[in-house]
Chains A and B, each alone.
Chain A
Amino acid sequence: MHIVVCLKQIIDPEIAPSEFQIDPVRKEQIRGKHALVISTFDEHALEVAVQVKEKTSGKITALTIAGEEGVRTLRDALALGADEAILLSDPTFVDSDSFGKARILAAALRKLSEFDAVLCGRQAGDIELGVTGPFLAEELGLPCIALVANIEPDGDKVRLRRPVENGYEILEVPLPFLATITNDESNVPRLPTVRAIRAAVRKSVPVWTAEEIGIEMIEARPEAAKIELQELFIPKREVRCEFIEGESDQEKGESLALRLRELKLI
């Protein structure tokens, strides 16, 4: 089975809130010295792909749209179990919106020609729109299953487990398909081995430009974008915590109940 995993490169989302800064003019996070990493849910998608490969054999190709620095993220993916990685990089890709990104990924997938599954994280770990996966399914005319936790290969089809309220459901879909992956206890990303990291450094990462995948990015013009981020701000939480006092912890517990009742919260 050939699985293609689409990864986004983002600024490490685990940084402390005190280090989180935004540029209100460019309307984006200031990178500063923070590392660029594989987006949260995309890492889970890669893990699901690796688990499927372990069950059936096959191949995993990782794709990302980024500048030159995207190579590092792709090497991380190679160390985590991807067999091949391709960087989609072109000056005309830089400002593309989700529609544009789906077109770029679709063009790259057509160039790859044969693939059985496309996996994307359920949403980006930064801007969190959660639309590139479904857009890509539409571009390619693939069946799309959202918020999948894990995948069980079964010949020319797969069974997908997805969490629902108080349980899960099992769905079945023929190859090829696209799934967006949500995090689950079954797909916690593994840590790469030192050997895998070394091997990843030696692998070559081809770069495909707009010309090579045969598209012209007219959507990248800002006036063609379907959405416009007008204002980005860090909300001020003007909360002053009212501390419940008491001689003992028991007394505080009782006073809390009374205060909650007073405020009609319970």
Chain B
Amino acid sequence: MTGVLVFSLASAEGLPRSGLELVAAAERLRDKLGDGTVQVVLLGPDAESYGETLIHHGADEVFVASSPELRSYKTELILAVLETATRRISPGVILFAADAVGGEIAPRLAYRLGAGLVTDCVGFEVDAESGHIRWLRPVYGGKAMAFIVARGPVQIATFRQRAFEPLPEDFSCRGKVQALEVELEPVTDRVSFVEEVREEIEGISLDEAEIVISGGRGIGGPEGFSELETLAQILEGAVGSSRPPADSGWVPHARLIGQTGKILSPNLYIAIGISGAPQHMAGISSAKTIVAINKDEDAPIFKVAHLGVVGNWRQVVPALIRACRELEGD
């Protein structure tokens, strides 16, 4: 075991939180293996300016390649850089975020390196006898979990968002930040960028929200979701939905949480008028606390919820909003 290498891609918006989460995962893995260094390859515009931040969050060594060319759709370029870097650094384990970039780059890198790859992990354990890493991931839409062992000269895992919390920033941490000397020239990316359209979304994005307030069929229509928005604003959370509201066009599809939508791990998940179909539950199986508000006391959501309110959300939620306003005003 030489090292645990984290891959992260910075964007114009900065260093993604997932990069810090992966460093925390790498730290934990190193502790369990009892050996190794935590290394990071950070690519993207202004990558070098985030090197120290990664060190302060637990990385021992950071390799940066800073170029405006290194954007998320430039996968062939990123892949070429990463392949070169990996061969040079020769880590034992490589960690990616299970996002659009990691979801494509990790398999292609695994293919090129002949590495064993486990995607979408939420945790791991190290087998005391064999010393093998057992990667834990949900399968069958969250209805089951699997421990998977990877083989090969190097093993690769991708991690779901928020599977690990970033380590607290410690300015006394020391480490080495160095430029990754790579040639970007010879790689021609066959994929080119045409345009990007971003909807202005007020407040916090679903992926980053600590608190998610979600509505289901029971909300009854698009109007009800404005009530949820109000609650989200007060709690500094984001609004999501189960499948019926997204399919009925009450909310944009981007709000959909579940096996075929977003998979989240918020600290607090408030499910309102959601029965708790397995396809939806797959999206929140790693939420820390689940609160359910539903008028049907037999709704399956109460089997997984930590706190429950049996009642009509049209009465419960306005009262909840009023009380939260008062509490937040304290």
Contacts and interface: CB of A to CB of B under 8 A. Distances in A.
Interface of A: 13-14, 16-17, 20, 22, 27, 29, 40-41, 99, 102, 122-123, 125-131, 133-135, 137-139, 143-147, 159, 162-174, 177, 180, 183-185, 188, 225-235, 237, 239, 241-244, 248-254, 256-261, 263, 265-266
B111 A138 contact: yes
A135 B100 contact: no
Given A170-B193, A254-B320, A266-B324, 12 more contacts: A41-B260, A129-B119, A134-B111, A169-B195, A169-B196, A171-B194, A172-B192, A227-B150, A241-B303, A253-B319, A256-B320, A258-B327
B176 interface: no
Which secondary structure characterizes the binding site on chain B?
mixed
A256 B291 contact: yes
A244 B103 contact: no
A29 to B, nearest CB: 6
Interface in B292-330: 292-293, 300, 302-312, 315-324, 327-328
B316 A172 contact: no
Contacts of A168: 196-197
Given A166-B201, A242-B308, A243-B308, A253 B193 contact: no
Contacts of B278: 16-17
Interface in B10-51: none
A118 to B, nearest CB: 14
Contact of B110 (A20, A131, A164, A257): A131
A135 B111 contact: yes
Nearest to B276: A17
Nearest to B198: A167
Contacts of B289: 263, 265
Interface residues of B, number: 92
B254 A166 contact: yes
Contacts of B306: 239, 241-242
Contacts of A123: 119
A227 B106 CA distance: 14
Contact of A162 (B100, B151, B267, B309): B100
A27 B320 CA distance: 45
* For the complex of A and B, 7 pairs with smallest distance between CB atoms: A253-B319, A257-B323, A249-B315, A134-B107, A167-B198, A146-B104, A249-B311
B267 A228 contact: no
A241 B317 contact: no
Nearest to A183: B260
A241 B319 contact: no
Contacts of A143: 76, 189-191
B182 interface: no
B53 to A, nearest CB: 21
A167 B199 contact: yes
Contacts of B72: 164
Given A225-B151, A266-B235, A253 B323 contact: yes
**B291, B319, B322 — which one has the most chain A CB atoms within 10 A of its CB?**
B319
A256 B144 contact: no
B80 interface: no
A135 B260 CA distance: 22
B98 to A, nearest CB: 9
Contact of B139 (A99, A128, A146, A261): A128
A240 to B, nearest CB: 8
